[in-house]
Structure 1
Amino acid sequence: MQSDSLSQGDTGPDVQALQQALLSHGSNPGAIDGVYGQGTVAAVMGFQQSEGLLADGIAGPRTLTSLGLSDSNALPSAIPGVTVEIVSQMFPVTPIGNIKNNLPGILSALVTRSISDKPMVLMALSTVRAEVECFEPISEGQSRFNTSPSGHPFDLYDNRKDLGNLGAPDGERYKGRGYVQLTGRSNYETYGPKLNPSVDLVTNPDLAGDPEIASSLLALFLADRELQIKSALLAGNMALARQLVNGGSNGLDRFTDAYQHGEALIPDRA
């Protein structure tokens, strides 16, 4: 097969091969006529749902590989089209020097985790805009949401079961850090061992703010939620996409603004 992606409206031998492969995998597209119509869209979506792939009706590299029609499931990378100038337009109040210093590490981490396609690049940069608009891996500051009027710093986090915290001083010890603002004992326990090489974030939580580690944590966190994120984005549900990372809607306005600007500025293929 010559094409690395097929979609509705395409015609020809590659579409016919796709239709035959779908039929052989139990997802009937109807007529094997080489026309990518509604029947083929439905069959592709059915196959994608069965295989745990993004059900967008487009036969991209991952779908074609799962059907045995491609040797590579690598998605087209948007990284070559991501420039400091473009990102600075997505971050209109951020010092350009911070973007120059930290953008390469973030993009490298996305490549390492195989999430360098355009939706995930946009998701990563928009998450940074929502979490740390300064484009530096910083630590969470005190606020009325994490510290009570008469309590010690981050006391409202100390006993948060949803964060895996076990009481003081876990609230302050495992406060938000890095680009994704990794928060809570359970996240520090989960993501330290996933780093390459493994890092003991439970004993050394401040390491989550190291630029290289923070970039890797951002990529890991998003990669773990890739299918859910892309499904939310496909449905145009920016609030859900944000919630999958943040757990709420904090920074949704900045997230949405960055995503929309980046979507228009970053080319689909460089």
Structure 2
Amino acid sequence: MIAGPLKQGDSSDDVKTLQQALTAHGFSPGVVDGQFGQGTVAAVMAFQKSEGLLPDGIAGPRTLCALDLANSDASPSAIPAVTVQVVSQMFPVTPIGNIKANLPSVLSALIQSRISDKPMVLMALATVRAEVECFEPIAEGQSRFNTSPNGHAFDLYDNRKDLGNRGAPDGASFKGRGYVQLTGRLNYQTYGPKLATPVDLVNDPDRASDPVVAAELLALFLADRELAIKKALLAGNMATARQLVNGGSNGLDRFADAYQRGATLIPNLAAD
């Protein structure tokens, strides 16, 4: 078994074993010489695409496990490095008391959903800052984006078929809540049963603002989009990563700022 990760520039017997495994799976790296060159990078990427993994050309835990070269596909966790002090630097205007109170449940939920590697931890925290910079799982307020000039609260959500809404009062009932600002009947219906302790969010939507439930919803929502998010982040496309969660660019400046701050504060770990 190989501990990994293995990447371009490496030279070892482990690289040779990797090359042999790639060849056996039908993805030839060229000469099997123990040198992780461009041919091996290309073969790794082709294998990763075939397996639905992040095509970064690095043989990390998930790639090695898929090649039967590792016993576990678990990526190294960034959680030990994510302290209140670190997060307070990512949230420069947020009361530190809110971070102390709510960070533990968010980190626990990320571990539970198996997205505790650095990119996804940064994605989660940057999402929280973009959606609820106060770092509390609050409910969405009225704005020109959800309420018409002469309409009732959240009337612009009432008939949003893309959200699964069926008319009033769905807009107000399924407005954004929690750290990810979960919005729409469809999302409440989808994610309630996925919680560790399932909750009927359709009939009790305010539970989405409970700190523990909100943390789990954030983690579950991001986990469902993990590969697409990581592809966007690998390409350096913050706008696409943000859109995968928000559906638009609202809060992009806060999102990108938090992510970039955290990227310099949290040590780099192995890739997938």
TM-score bracket for the superposition, by shorter chain length: over 0.9
Q: Counterpart of 1:23 in 2: which secondary structure?
A: helix
- Report the more deviating stretch, 37-46 or 4-13: 4-13
Match runs of 1:120-269 below 5 Å? 120-269=120-269
Distance 1:108 1:115 in 2: 10
Consecutive unaligned residues of structure 2, counting only runs of 5 or more, are: none
Give the match for residue 119 of structure 1: 119
User: SS state of the match for residue 198, structure 1?
Assistant: coil
SS in 2 for 1:139: coil
Question: 1:22 is matched with which residue?
Answer: 22
Cα distance in 1, alignment partners of residues 11 and 103 from structure 2: 40
Mapped to 2, the partners of 1:37 and 1:230 lie a distance apart of 23
Q: Distance in 1 between matches of 2:10 and 2:3?
A: 10
What is the CA deviation profile of residues 4-27 of structure 1, one whole-angstrom value per residue up to 9, with x for unaligned ones?
Answer: 210001111000000000000000
Distance across 2 between alignment mates of 1:80 and 1:87: 12
CA distance in 1, matches of 2:83, 2:112: 19
Separation in 1 of the partners of 2:260 and 2:169?
A: 39
Does structure 1 conserve the Cα–Cα contact (< 8 Å) formed by 2:170 and 2:185?
A: yes
In structure 1, the residue matched to 2:59 is 59
Give the structure 2 partner of residue 44 of structure 1: 44
In structure 1, C-alpha distance between the alignment counterparts of 2:18 and 2:124, rounded to whole Å: 32
How far off its partner does 1:40 sit? 0.1
* Secondary structure of the corresponding residue to residue 194 of structure 2: coil
Identify the structure with bigger relative contact order (alpha carbons < 8 Å, sequence gap 6+). Answer: 2
1:137-166 residue CA offsets vs partner (Å, 9 max, x unmatched): 000000011111111100110001111100
SS in 1 for 2:193: coil
Deviation at 1:198, TM superposition (A): 1.2
Q: CA deviation at 1:196?
A: 1.4
CA distance in 2, matches of 1:241, 1:6: 26
* 1:71-150 equivalent positions in 2, closer than 5 A: 71-150=71-150
Q: Amino acid of the residue matched to residue 241 of structure 2?
A: A
* Corresponding letter in the other structure for 1:89: Q
> In 1, Cα distance between the equivalents of 2:213 and 2:142?
23
Q: Please tell me the residue identity of whatever aligns with 1:5.
A: P
SS in 2 for 1:114: coil
Q: Helix, strand or coil for the counterpart of 2:221?
A: helix
CA distance in 1, matches of 2:80, 2:132: 24
Q: TM-score normalized by structure 1?
A: 0.99
Secondary structure in structure 1 of the residue aligned to 2:70: coil
TM-score, length of structure 2 as denominator length: 0.98
Please tell me the root mean square deviation across aligned C-alpha atoms, in Å: 0.6
| Structure 1 residue 268 displacement after superposition | 2.1
Q: 1:74-129 CA deviation, whole Å, 9 max, x = no partner?
A: 00100000111110000000000000000000000000000000000000000000
Write the distance in 1 (CA, Å) between the matches of 2:4 and 2:246.
Answer: 34
How far apart are the structure 1 equivalents of 2:106 and 2:71? 28
Distance 2:265 2:113 in 1: 23
Poorly superposed stretches of 4+, deviation over 6 Å? none
